[in-house]
Amino acid sequence: MACVKLNSLSSQWIANNPFSSRRGSSSSSISTAPRGVSLRIRASYSDELVQTAKTVASRGRGILAIDESNATCGKRLASIGLDNTEVNRQAYRQLLLTTPGLGEYISGAILFEETLYQSTTDGKKFVDVLREEKIVPGIKVDKGLVPLPGSNNESWCQGLDGLASRSAEYYKQGARFAKWRTVVSIPSGPSALAVKEAAWGLARYAAISQDNGLVPIVEPEILLDGDHPIERTLEVAEKVWSEVFFYLAQNNVLFEGILLKPSMVTPGAEHKQKASPETIANFTLNLLKRRVPPAVPGIMFLSGGQSEVEATLNLNAMNQSPNPWHVSFSYARALQNTVLKTWQGRPENVEAAQKSLLVRAKANSLAQLGRYSAEGENEEAKKGMFVKGYTY
């Protein structure tokens, strides 16, 4: 146990200034403290943050991630022969967000900035469409990955500059949670520098998001790239999440007002031996129990290039017994792959594509409840989607 020695001036100030919750009042104030003692009480969104996190982490529901950048969305559209135009991006996202009954299985939707400000073709804001389905709107706030100088060809995530003002605007537009994705590469080390940079960046983002009313999704994605065994993935994941929570605490982040978006603990995509859903669940839950406080309300897994069926089977295996947190999904490709191929950019296919989205959303809802069976799944849903060096 670490002990802190206080001088007499500090002790006197603490005695005369009882500690209160960091987020306990509706106004922002900075207490006057002697030199060497700093205590900042920031504007409070604590109750709202906790309620938002609980709503997203609600039983039988998960997150639909449609926050791909315009460039990445363009690649998806190109796969079905469509040009990367705002009209086509809007049409595809309208298909997804207006799916009747989506809110039964989906609690939150992560949007790209363009989508947050868009409306349907009949003039209804996408944010309002989501609210009517009791789906919480979220927003991607990072500005992407760039090379990290001094590292082993690794990257860091940019976007802290101006984040506070952007987050305030996103809140006004209706967003209530945020996403920031950084990555860790096992074949590249990972270096201590890259791990620390990832953890510190996530912590600063989380603190800024909470100060502006947005529940931060904390996402240090450990990439599937590599031929390493599952034991190596666990080793790296334990190190990464240890650093992440250390810096979250240092930045006074409210754990009850965050959500996590981790990778599942799997072997590298090029490892010669695949792991069963039961093995993946065992390793992943061991990681979470060792590193994630039970105060965190929800663990919303990313699919990371797994096939639609693989991602659902693995999630189902993790929900065969009670967990300290809501263990669910935040999938992009693992919810959208079949949808896109069904749609093909044709208006007459919209209804069929929406039905395929509901099929995948319901399957993952059942997995969140531990009741999913892969019986009857089509071959398309079983195809892997791993792309080496994949970028958003």
Return the ∠ at Cα 66 (arms to 129 and 220), rounded to 5°.
130
Return the ∠ at Cα 85 (arms to 81 and 88), rounded to 5°.
65
Number of Cβ within a 10 Å radius of residue 25: 14
Catalytic one of 68, 154, 197, 219:
219
Catalytic one of 140, 243, 261, 377:
261
390 burial type by CB count under 10 A (0-12 exposed, 13-18 middle, 19+ buried): middle
DSSP letter assigned to residue 289: H
Q: HSE of 277 in the Cβ direction (CA atoms, 13 Å)?
A: 19
User: Quick one: which of 25, 104, 118, 22 has its CA closest to 61?
Assistant: 104
Number of Cβ within a 10 Å radius of residue 125: 16
Three-state SS string over 312-342 comes to HHHHHHHCCCCCCCEEEEEECHHHHHHHHHH
Report which residue type is found at 188.
Answer: S
As given in the structure block, the two tokens for residue 343 are 């749609």
Rounded to 5 degrees, φ, ψ at 211 are: -65, -20
Return the ∠ at Cα 68 (arms to 235 and 332), rounded to 5°.
60
Alpha-carbon span 61 to 171, nearest angstrom: 23
Active site residue 274: no
Active site residue 261: yes
- Cβ-contact 202, 244 below 8 angstroms: yes
Residues with a catalytic annotation lie at 219, 261
